[in-house]
Structure 1
């Protein structure tokens, strides 16, 4: 398994932790990382994903809700919601990652950590977002988050 996949999985776990534990920890990412052994090759991409999702969460959540028919973000499973957040962050802000790679990675991670339906659910939403981006139907966002 590649370091980017491991980074995505670790980012999912950290975002899941922050979603489930809304305690007032001053540095939730640092707190999460202190509980697990550090894997140096995954750290830069892990932090890029987690920090990017946290900084752009309102925008990311709005895009997800726009393309998820009859699903409010708060009603989605915590795993699906955070897999989608990571993938939408990549689609909107990471020009160095091909959209199909982001989508395929999200589907695989969703299947591994979510339910039987997670892969299809994630694929449907992300493919709609990808098509809208391609057709310029999603507002242009600054693509400044590069590794």
Structure 2
């Protein structure tokens, strides 16, 4: 990980750590502007890409294509509804041993992993049954 960050990268990291939740690039831009920190949207995107490349933040892409960025350095696992977009965070992780094996067998430095299952939440299942 890079020890030297630009001022914009530092602002983004500080914001994500202080909020302790995932945000889209647009949300990061708005939040920084609301805090009177002048930054352009293109700079936000460039900074996020650089931080992602060095492993300083995590990125999760939603089914609608939107990316959410987080400073949390932990594995994240979700059940995501394809209809309403709700995501449920799950704690179980069946791939920790696989991650260690892959790092060892491929000499590949893994920063984090995500595991996501897509389907229908209970409410959307009920709506589907009613529509039939």
Question: TM-score, structure 1 length as denominator?
Answer: 0.26
Considering Cα pairs closer than 8 Å and 6+ residues apart, tell me whether 1 or 2 has the greater RCO.
Answer: 1
Query: When you count strand as a share of all residues, which structure comes out higher?
Result: 2
Query: When you count helix as a share of all residues, which structure comes out higher?
Result: 1
Larger radius of gyration: 2
Question: TM-score, structure 2 length as denominator?
Answer: 0.28
